[in-house]
Structure formats: structure tokens, C-alpha cells
Amino acid sequence: MLTLKKGASRALIYFLEIFVIVISVFPILWVIMSAFKTNGEILSDPLALPSSVSFDTFVHLFENYNFPQYFLNSLLAAGVSTVVSLLFYAMGGYVLAKYRFPGRTLLFTLFTVTLLVPAHSKTQPIFNLIMELGLYDNLWGVTLVYLSTGMAMSIFILRAGFMSIPKSLDEAAIVDGAGFMRIFWSINLPLAKSAISTAGILMFLSNWNEYYFASLLTMSDSQRTLPIALSYFTSEFSYNYTQLFAALAIVVLPGIILYVFAQEQVQVSMASTGIKG
């Protein structure tokens, strides 16, 4: 009886593991597989393997459409905003972690309480702000908005990272005559590496994948990021399924590749997003 129960629960465990793997990977594999099939093959049997493997569709997409441009746009918007905001929030998180000054608790509370405000609810003021700055339909407008999106979480993660660096190191450096900048730049910043990469990966992934504000703040083809381009592409070329699937694969793969390389770090990062959210 006991072994039967044990066997059943073991079977359940394996069933659930397989279920999770299938629902997570299968849709993506199917997209990639379909990108190698012809229109006819896709329509006649969606589950069949492609009859031949050729990269023509991908080459075609890169040569005839602006995919290199979209790719570059995504990389610029997500990369620049991540690097700049990491620097800003590292500076903020550092002084909030290590110094006592008037307004410290108030500022920390204000910065982190923004986590409670859904970004979507600020749509109209942000739309107007970007209009007034003359940055509508401009990739830099989108980048500017991305600077702000990870604020609460990054300050939270980075402050905790700096707090775990022993103060005795700073004090030793003061005795040695190091200035404020030097203590930040050469002692604290290198030691906060793991917090910085956690915050950086989270911000980069969310900005790379961002759709809402990018769709709201851009119009023309030359300013589109990959997710936006994809949505236009699917409405314009809804008859050419091979190209649609290839475009989807192009949009999806970079994120997955980044994840494969930084797997542990991403998992730790993702788990920490929930912490006292």
C-alpha cells in the first residue's frame, strides 16, 4: 500500500515536471520549426517537421525589411537606458545605504513606494511629457521613459547590495585619505558587482521586451523596437506564415540566448523581484 502511494506520488511529480517543460518550450520550438516550413506545409499539417532546412526566410527578412534597424533600436533603447539608470540608481542606492543625512528615510520611502503605482495608470502624463519635450516618435523618448521604469526595484536591490559591504573598508580608505568619489568608484562599486548585475539584468530584460510605452510613443518605421515591429509585421503580412514565424523567432531568440548565458543570475534576480513587493 505504502509503495503504491509512493509510486503514485512519484509519477505525479514526473508528470508535472514534463507538463511544465512542454508548456514552456513547446510553443517556442513550434514557432522556430514553422519558420523553416513553407506556407503550404504550415497549413496542411501544423505538427509536421519541415521538409528541408534553409535560412532563406531569415536572410530575406534581414535584407528586405528593417530588421537590423529594429534590432539596433531595441539594443540602443534597452542598453542605454539600462547602463545610465544603473549608474544613477547605484549612486542613489549607495548614499542611501551608507550615509546618514536629513531626508534619508523620506527619500527611500518615496522611491520604493512607487512600486505600488501601476505604470499604465501614468500613461497620459507621460505621453504628454514626451510630447512637450519634442521626443514623440523618437527612440530617445522611449529610452528616457525606460530610465524610470526600474527605479523602485533597482534602488531596493542596489541599496541592499551596498549595505552588505563592510563599513570598515570605507573607514580604512578615509584614513588613507581617499575622497568621496574614490571610495564610491574604486571600493564600493566593484564589491557590489552581484547586486549591480541583478538589477542590470532585470532592467535590460524588461526594457528589451517592453511593448506598451514603445507602441504609444513611436509612429514611424525607423523608430520601432523589435516587439513593435513584430506587431506591425503580423498585421501587414498576415498571409505569409513562414515570414511571420521567422520574425517571431528573431524577436524571441535574443532574450532566450541572454537567459541561457546568465541563467543562475536571472533566476536569482527574478526571485528577488518579489521580495517584499
Partner 1 sequence: MKKKGIKPGRISKNHWERKNYKWIYLFLLPTIIIFLMFYMMPILQVFVTSFTQWDGFNEPVFNGLRNYKNLFTSSAFLISLKNLFLWALIAMFLHVGFGTLIAFVLYQRRRGWKVTRAVFMIPNVISAAAWAMIYRFFFNNNFGILNSIIRKFNPDFDVQWFYQSPWAFWAVTLTWLFYAVIVTLLVFGDLMSIPQELNEAAIIDGAGGWQLIRHIQLPLCRSAIATGVICSLTSRITMYEQISLTTAGGPGNDTMSLPILLVNAVTDYRYGYANAIGVLMFVIGLVMMGIINKAFRMNDSDY
Q: Within 186-225, which residues bind partner 1 (CB under 8 A)?
A: 205, 208-212, 216
Sole binder of partner 1 in the list 75, 187, 258, 265 (CB under 8 A): 258
SS3 187: helix
Quick check: 43 and 242 in contact, CB under 8 A? no
Total binding residues for partner 1 by CB under 8 A?
93
Sole binder of partner 1 in the list 181, 220, 239, 261 (CB under 8 A): 181
Sole binder of partner 1 in the list 69, 76, 135, 227 (CB under 8 A): 227
CB of 68 to partner 1, least distance (A): 18
The beta strand positions in the chain, using DSSP E, are: none
Q: Which of 243, 255, 191 is nearest to 57 (CA)?
A: 243
- Which part of the chain contacts partner 1 (CB under 8 A), choosing from 50-58, 119-127, 135-143, 191-199? 119-127
Cβ proximity to partner 1, 54 vs 261, nearer residue: 261
Cβ proximity to partner 1, 79 vs 255, nearer residue: 255
CA dist 225 and 214 (Å) reads: 7
- Which part of the chain contacts partner 1 (CB under 8 A), choosing from 51-59, 135-143, 185-193, 227-235? 227-235
CB of 256 to partner 1, least distance (A): 6
Q: Which of 237, 250, 264 is nearest to 59 (CA)?
A: 250
Site for partner 1 in 54-83 (CB under 8 A): none
Q: Which of 12, 19, 55, 218 is nearest to 135 (CA)?
A: 218
Does position 35 interact with partner 1 (CB under 8 A)? The reply is no
Secondary structure element (H or E) that encloses residue 210, with its range: none
Sole binder of partner 1 in the list 1, 4, 23, 106 (CB under 8 A): 23
Report the sign of the C-alpha dihedral through residues 155, 156, 159, 161, in that order.
negative
Contact pattern for partner 1 over residues 135 through 174, marking x by CB under 8 A: ----------x-xx--x---x---------------x--x
Does position 7 interact with partner 1 (CB under 8 A)? The reply is no
CB of 112 to partner 1, least distance (A): 11
Helix runs in the chain, H state only: 2-34, 39-44, 56-64, 67-98, 104-113, 123-132, 139-149, 151-163, 167-175, 180-182, 189-191, 193-209, 212-217, 226-236, 241-261, 263-273
